[in-house]
């Protein structure tokens, strides 16, 4: 195992803030890690728990970190450290007042073996009001050496009184590079990464959960159905109904279509750029690109990009899909009629 903070991808700002506060002995008593799902909030909470309880921490130097290998670090990573307690909703619904009372009673006891008791409440916004009020009391009367980490995707859903007692640490959606690193670390191939990246929405959990084989089949289906429908207006309207059935469906379809059109353009631009495409996408792009000149490809890309812009300002999904498909058809007809 390597260094816990050092392993976290794509959250440099949040991690640096925590590393500095920890190494400088300036940690707050309660933090709220807020940001979109799958961005690494819980991983970072565990890294911080390892840091404060590590038996051989590296606190000097530019990148202070827990060792990741001592007994304490290993037990925290395995979820078996008695002083690092994860509080999650029971039966996947809410964090109950009983759970918080238990937390309050145990926060008063001395830590078993670590230096600091760490409570990770995830998701903290799933505390019902009585539970939240009980938790607030615990925050107001700090007991022993406890560190509270509230994890949430909805910071404003927490009670204002709780928010004001926590230091907020913001997490951003993961960028493509960070996601790529995480996926590769989990043994995904470059082709697999290329297939799931456009659909992950900066969410590592979602990216890891996507079934690559199924996902590729779905992408191929959307591409084939869409291009197949450009030949006739009734087919085109039917396809608009399918991909424009709601906002989320159209957003997902647009990601796929834009990715495919980019591949087409790359294929058209020249040999050297083709190396950028994974082999299976190169094959598919090559087949489809055979009859489509670059000018038409760019018009198609513009129609799709425009649809995405319109959707972002709440255009009606089905109408947006129709308009895009008609423009794609126009671009294709020009290609048949005009010079290639």
Q: Which is nearer to Zn ion, 73 or 210 (CB)?
A: 73
Q: Does the footprint of Zn ion cover residue 73 (CB under 5 A)? A: yes
Q: Which among 62-70, 91-99, 191-199, 268-276 is the span making contact with Zn ion, rule CB under 5 A?
A: 62-70
Please state, in angstroms and rounded to a whole number, the distance separating the CA atoms of residues 180 and 10: 10
- H or E element, residue 34: strand 30-34
Count of residues for the chain?
Answer: 340
Smallest gap from residue 194 Cβ to Zn ion (A): 36
Smallest gap from residue 56 Cβ to Zn ion (A): 5
Half-sphere exposure of 132 (CA within 13 A, CB side): 17
Using CA of residue 183, residue 280, residue 269, residue 276, what is the dihedral sign?
positive
Instruction: Give me 334's structure tokens.
Output: 């020009």
Q: Are strands 167-170 and 146-152 parallel, antiparallel or unpaired?
A: unpaired
Please state, in angstroms and rounded to a whole number, the distance separating the CA atoms of residues 121 and 150: 5
Q: Which one of 3, 67, 134, 223 is in contact with Zn ion (CB under 5 A)?
A: 67
Smallest gap from residue 43 Cβ to Zn ion (A): 16
Q: Which one of 3, 39, 46, 54 is in contact with Zn ion (CB under 5 A)?
A: 54
Q: Which is nearer to Zn ion, 61 or 337 (CB)?
A: 61
Smallest gap from residue 14 Cβ to Zn ion (A): 21
Residues 272-301 within binding reach of Zn ion (CB under 5 A)? none
- The answer to whether the beta carbons of residues 183 and 202 sit under 8 Å apart is no
Please state, in angstroms and rounded to a whole number, the distance separating the CA atoms of residues 190 and 318: 34
Q: Which is nearer to Zn ion, 23 or 100 (CB)?
A: 23
Please state, in angstroms and rounded to a whole number, the distance separating the CA atoms of residues 145 and 85: 14
Instruction: Give me 83's structure tokens.
Output: 């002083």
Q: Which one of 15, 49, 66, 183 is in contact with Zn ion (CB under 5 A)?
A: 66
Using CA of residue 190, residue 192, residue 196, residue 202, what is the dihedral sign?
negative
Q: Which among 64-72, 79-87, 103-111, 216-224 is the span making contact with Zn ion, rule CB under 5 A?
A: 64-72
Q: Which is nearer to Zn ion, 66 or 121 (CB)?
A: 66
Smallest gap from residue 57 Cβ to Zn ion (A): 6
Say whether 85 sits in a helix, a strand or coil.
Answer: strand
Q: Which is nearer to Zn ion, 120 or 229 (CB)?
A: 120
Residues 208-247 within binding reach of Zn ion (CB under 5 A)? none
Q: Which is nearer to Zn ion, 145 or 163 (CB)?
A: 145
Please state, in angstroms and rounded to a whole number, the distance separating the CA atoms of residues 167 and 181: 29
Q: What is the DSSP string of 145-210?
A: SEEEEEEES-GGGS-HHHHTTSEEEE-PPPPHHHHHHHHHHTT--HHHHHHHHHHHTT-HHHHHHS
Smallest gap from residue 68 Cβ to Zn ion (A): 6
Smallest gap from residue 76 Cβ to Zn ion (A): 8
Q: Which among 28-36, 63-71, 78-86, 260-268 is the span making contact with Zn ion, rule CB under 5 A?
A: 63-71
Q: Does the footprint of Zn ion cover residue 70 (CB under 5 A)? A: yes
Q: Does the footprint of Zn ion cover residue 45 (CB under 5 A)? A: no
Smallest gap from residue 78 Cβ to Zn ion (A): 13
Q: Which is nearer to Zn ion, 74 or 206 (CB)?
A: 74
- Contact residues toward Zn ion (CB under 5 A) are 54, 66-67, 70, 73
């Amino acid at each position: 195992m390597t260094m816990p903070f050092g392993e976290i991808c794509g959250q440099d700002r949040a991690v640096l803030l925590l590393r500095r506060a920890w190494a400088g002995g300036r940690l707050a008593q309660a933090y709220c890690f807020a940001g979109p799902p799958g961005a690494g909030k819980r991983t970072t909470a565990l890294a911080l728990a390892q840091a404060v309880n590590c038996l051989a921490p590296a606190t000097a130097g530019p990148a202070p970190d827990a060792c990741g290998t001592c007994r304490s670090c290993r037990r925290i990573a395995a979820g078996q450290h008695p002083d690092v307690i994860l509080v999650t909703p029971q039966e996947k619904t809410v964090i109950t007042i009983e759970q918080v009372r238990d937390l309050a009673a145990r926060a008063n006891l001395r830590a078993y073996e670590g230096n600091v008791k760490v409570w990770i409440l995830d998701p903290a916004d799933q505390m019902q009001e009585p539970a939240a009020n009980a938790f607030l009391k615990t925050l107001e009367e700090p007991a022993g050496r406890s560190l509270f980490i509230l994890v949430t995707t909805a910071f404003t859903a927490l009670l204002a009184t709780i928010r004001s007692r926590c230091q907020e640490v913001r997490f951003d959606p993961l960028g493509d590079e960070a996601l790529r690193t995480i996926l590769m670390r989990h043994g995904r191939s470059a082709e697999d990464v290329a297939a799931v990246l456009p659909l992950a929405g900066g969410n590592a959990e979602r990216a890891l959960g996507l079934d690559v084989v199924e996902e590729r089949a779905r992408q191929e289906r959307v591409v084939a159905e869409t291009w197949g429908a450009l030949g006739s207006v009734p087919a085109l309207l039917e396809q608009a109904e399918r991909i424009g059935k709601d906002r989320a469906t159209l957003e997902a379809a647009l990601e796929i279509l834009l990715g495919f059109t980019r591949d087409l353009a790359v294929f058209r631009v020249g040999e050297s750029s083709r190396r950028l495409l994974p082999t299976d996408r190169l094959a598919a792009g090559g087949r489809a690109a055979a009859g489509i000149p670059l000018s038409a490809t760019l018009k198609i890309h513009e129609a799709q990009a425009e649809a995405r812009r319109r959707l972002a300002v709440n255009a009606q999904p089905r109408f947006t899909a129709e308009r895009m498909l008609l423009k794609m058809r126009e671009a294709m007809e020009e290609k048949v009629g005009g010079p290639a």
